[in-house]
Amino acid sequence: MQETGKNDLIVFDVEAVAKVPGPDALANLYDFANTLDVRHFTHHGVPHRQDDELTSAQALAVWMVQRKLARPDAKITPAMFEAALALRASLRDYLQHDPAKRRSKSATGALNAAIASFLLRAELGNEAAAALRPVRDDALSGLSVVAAELYDGARDGSLDRLKMCAADECRRVFFDRSKPATRRWCMSNLCGNRVKTRAYRERQRVVRICEA
Ligand SMILES: [Zn+2]
């Protein structure tokens, strides 16, 4: 993705995005989904503090400016803020589905409805062979990069590796780099172990009850 110098329209360079392997091509998508941090486990005796980076329209503007998705003077209206939050909520709902079950309308319906606010148009003959430009031209246009990364990731299959941690007390979005792409937890030695240990204790409890 790059910005044009003349009119500050945000341009998505499809070729440049396609060349970047792994999560870099989905970096904005990944970061945006993880602006909501609902982790509430205790690690080494220290409780994790839940957080939301997008608590207001102004906070969203700051987040976008930091990623060069908006100009420093960007003014996000309440309606734009609502559209962004709807996009994030439907994105997180979509990502919590197992990749094998993401083709159904129940998995894609809400996300497709939300990204309808972030339409893209193709443009040929720019510096790159082709570029995707946001249709909207307001302060929220840069967030259309999420729609572009969803499109690219779905086309090349990398989106199936973007998952939500299966641990209820975590729910962090992570990129599965394992060869078979079968990881369920963001960190196996933390979330995976916690879930397995709990399941083991539960089995032991049931055994004790049955033996009693
Ligand atoms: Zn996790």
The whole-number pLDDT of residue 197 equals 82
Q: How far is the CA of 136 from the centre of ligand 1 (A)?
A: 35
Compute CA distances 138 → 28, 96, 97, 143, 145, whole Å: 19, 30, 32, 10, 14
Q: How far is the CA of 88 from the centre of ligand 1 (A)?
A: 19
Q: How far is the CA of 168 from the centre of ligand 1 (A)?
A: 8
SS (H, E, C) 25-52: HHHHHHHHHCCEECCCCEECCEECCCEE
Q: How far is the CA of 185 from the centre of ligand 1 (A)?
A: 5
Q: How far is the CA of 111 from the centre of ligand 1 (A)?
A: 23
Could you identify the residue written with the tokens 């062979």? Answer: 129
Least confident of 20-29, 51-60, 166-175, 181-190: 20-29
Amino acid type, 104: S
- Give the total number of structural domains in the chain: 1
Global model pTM greater than 0.85: no
The whole-number pLDDT of residue 1 equals 41
Q: How far is the CA of 53 from the centre of ligand 1 (A)?
A: 19
Q: How far is the CA of 48 from the centre of ligand 1 (A)?
A: 12
Q: How far is the CA of 154 from the centre of ligand 1 (A)?
A: 23
**Percentage of the chain exceeding pLDDT 70:** 88
Note the pLDDT tens digit of each residue in 115-124.
999 999 999 9
Q: How far is the CA of 54 from the centre of ligand 1 (A)?
A: 21
Q: How far is the CA of 184 from the centre of ligand 1 (A)?
A: 8
49, 40 in Cβ contact below 8 A? no
For residue 89, which of 157, 50, 41, 35 has the smallest C-alpha distance? 35
User: Domain range holding 60?
Assistant: 2-211
Q: How far is the CA of 181 from the centre of ligand 1 (A)?
A: 16
Q: Say which CATH number the domain at 88 has.
A: 1.10.3300
Note the pLDDT tens digit of each residue in 127-141.
778 888 899 999 999
Comparing 26 with 18, which gets the higher pLDDT?
26
The whole-number pLDDT of residue 23 equals 67
The whole-number pLDDT of residue 131 equals 81
Q: How far is the CA of 112 from the centre of ligand 1 (A)?
A: 26
Q: How far is the CA of 211 from the centre of ligand 1 (A)?
A: 34
The average pLDDT across 10-24 equals 44
Q: How far is the CA of 39 from the centre of ligand 1 (A)?
A: 8
